[in-house]
Amino acid sequence: MSIALYRVDDRLIHGQVVVGWGQPLDAGFIVLVDDEVRASEWEQDLYRMGVPAHIEVVFASVEEARRRLSEWNTDPRPGILLAGDIDTIAAIAGDGGSLIRQLNIGGVHHRAGRSERLRYVYLTDAEANKLRQLAARGIEITAQDVPTARAVPLEEFV
């Protein structure tokens, strides 16, 4: 089944991911890509608390994610890959051809320099440009916080 959802969400593992997406996708594993969380057992324990025992959680650095992406894509279980920001997912996608065909923007919240694009998506101009570049490489990008909401195409929010 491989990775069924590539998602950018600055909350990483939380209710919308585990329940909102995890249930309908029948997720068997979640890959959380974040260099800081990868280096902290305490942070990892915190994120594991919100995940049912039958879902495996893999903590990966950006470098590990790039190296293991093809491995996760051959996993028979449906998986979810989470990145906390646009830069991280762009780094995972790399410069050449990418295994990522679709990208979900699930939550990028307000911070200095960002402007509101959707209720749950705030981007700097640089982040918006980076998404356009990913789209130009053939990655279908939509914003959608939960599966029951409309998937908003990239051109409607950048």
Angle (nearest 5°) at CA 38 between 9 and 135? 35
Residue selected from 8, 13, 83, 158 as contacting another protein according to rule CB under 8 A: 13
The span from the CA of 18 to the CA of 26, in Å, is 10
Which lies closer to another protein via its Cβ, residue 14 or residue 77? 14
State the residue for tokens 């939380």. 14
Which one, 59 or 139, has the nearer CB to another protein?
59
Q: How far is 14 from 79, CA to CA, in rounded Å?
A: 15
Name the one range near another protein by CB under 8 A: 64-72, 107-115, 129-137, 144-152.
Answer: 107-115
Per CB under 8 A, 30 contacts another protein: no
Q: Which residues contact 19 (CB under 8 A, 6 or more apart)?
A: none
Closer to another protein by CB, 46 or 126: give it. Answer: 46
Applying CB under 8 A, which of residues 67, 101, 109, 132 lies at the interface with another protein?
Answer: 109
Close Cβ partners of 6 (under 8 Å, ≥ 6 residues apart): 81, 83, 89, 100, 102, 103, 104
Mark the segment that binds another protein (CB under 8 A) among 27-35, 63-71, 87-95, 105-113: 105-113
Where along the sequence are the contacts to another protein (CB under 8 A)? 10-15, 18, 42, 46-47, 49-51, 107-111, 119-120
